[in-house]
Structure 1
Amino acid sequence: MEVRQMATAFLCHGDKVLMMKKARSKIFDFEFWGGIGGHLECEELNFPMQASYREIEEETGFKQSEIENFKLKYILIENNSGEIRQQYVYFGETKHMNFISSDEGELFWIHKSELLDLHTSKLITFTIEQYLENPDHDDILVATVTANHEAEALVHWTTMKETMTF
């Protein structure tokens, strides 16, 4: 089984979040919305925040110095299409709303009240719901995705705490 590691960022400015609309991807063959991000390069496997900053600059033009309060909030884990997908999800605030377009998709500032109306993957929908309900939480939450008897996706959230080993 292969492992796919990704980093995704949601950049906020006031009550708006920068979202990317894509016509399709390697995974989906239809239009969908998501945050800013992509796959970790080999040299970034131990540094997902570095990968996230790289993806942000490539896809939006925002530099690290233009982003504040950038924090890892979620780690998402799922078994999908024969691979384990692990996604590091960051949230941060931008100092301005000016972005540079990229070939990855179309960027739009979306009001937080409209985020759940967008066509996103189930896991991103679960993550946005969690964020909107608890925007100020400081813990890192880990989500695993399972399915019920009807094959509907379910999410299980766990708070990641530091452990002491002896």
Structure 2
Amino acid sequence: MPTQRNMTSLYLTHGEEILLLYREGSRVANHLWVASAGGHLEQEELNHAKRGVLRELQEELGLSESDLMGLRLRYVTLRQTKGEIRVIYFFFAELVEKMSLKSNEGQLKWFSLSDLHNLDMPLTAKLVLEHYIKTGRFDQNLYGGLTVGEVFVVEALV
């Protein structure tokens, strides 16, 4: 029986750019480009993913919600891999002011939204970003996504 892993990911944007982290030293996603901040939800956050993503934002980047505009949960995804069912809550927000940031999880870098296709990323993150760039950034929907093999089935929930 697979175990369940609940995680958050926060993508920070500024205009047509997105801040990504080249994660180093992680058990789940190592030597890959991932969201600006994120990680595992604590027990008390399981029903409050926003609390978890704000905690990760503070721990990893030293930022708070006041540094952001439009913080929203945009995707909730499921994927079975490596003996786990991974539930990931993907948040997006715009930085009030574009700045140079440091992370204790790896190297941060700003990318144009049009330059992400060749980056090594976890599969679900790559598929979420592809959908976000084509569709999600133009609406305010919450999407549910299921990754089966290499296929991403995504549907607007509200």
In the superposition, the TM-score normalised over structure 2's length comes to: 0.91
Moved over 6 A (4+): none
Q: Residues 78 and 87 of structure 2 are in contact (CA less than 8 Å); yes or no, is this contact kept in structure 1?
A: yes
Equivalent position amino acid for 2:63 in 1: F
Deviations 1:104-153 (A, max 9, x none): 11111111111222110111111111000011222211111112xxxxx1
Deviations 1:86-109 (A, max 9, x none): 000011101112254232111111
- Candidates 141, 144, 149, aligned match of 2:143: 141
Q: Residues 25 and 105 of structure 2 are in contact (CA less than 8 Å); yes or no, is this contact kept in structure 1?
A: no
Pairing 1:99-110 to 2, within 5 Å after superposition: 99-110=100-111
Pairing 1:26-65 to 2, within 5 Å after superposition: 26-28=27-29, 31-35=31-35, 36-65=37-66
Q: What is the Cα deviation at residue 24 of structure 1?
A: 4.4
* Pairing 1:155–2:152 present: yes
What SS does the aligned partner of 1:117 have?
coil
Equivalent position amino acid for 1:143 in 2: G
Which 5+ residue runs of structure 1 have no aligned equivalent? 148-152, 162-166
What SS does the aligned partner of 1:116 have?
coil
Q: Residues 78 and 86 of structure 2 are in contact (CA less than 8 Å); yes or no, is this contact kept in structure 1?
A: yes
Q: Residues 73 and 89 of structure 1 are in contact (CA less than 8 Å); yes or no, is this contact kept in structure 2?
A: yes
What SS does the aligned partner of 2:78 have?
strand
Distance in 1, matches of 2:102 and 2:81, equals 30
Residue 5 (structure 1) aligns with:
6
Deviations 1:58-89 (A, max 9, x none): 11122110101111110110111111100000
Distance in 1, matches of 2:75 and 2:68, equals 18
Residue 93 (structure 2) aligns with:
92
Residue 164 (structure 1) aligns with:
none
Distance in 2, matches of 1:103 and 1:116, equals 25
Which 5+ residue runs of structure 2 have no aligned equivalent? none
Q: Residues 62 and 99 of structure 1 are in contact (CA less than 8 Å); yes or no, is this contact kept in structure 2?
A: no
Equivalent position amino acid for 2:152 in 1: V
What SS does the aligned partner of 2:138 have?
coil
Instruction: Select the structure of larger CA radius of gyration.
Output: 1
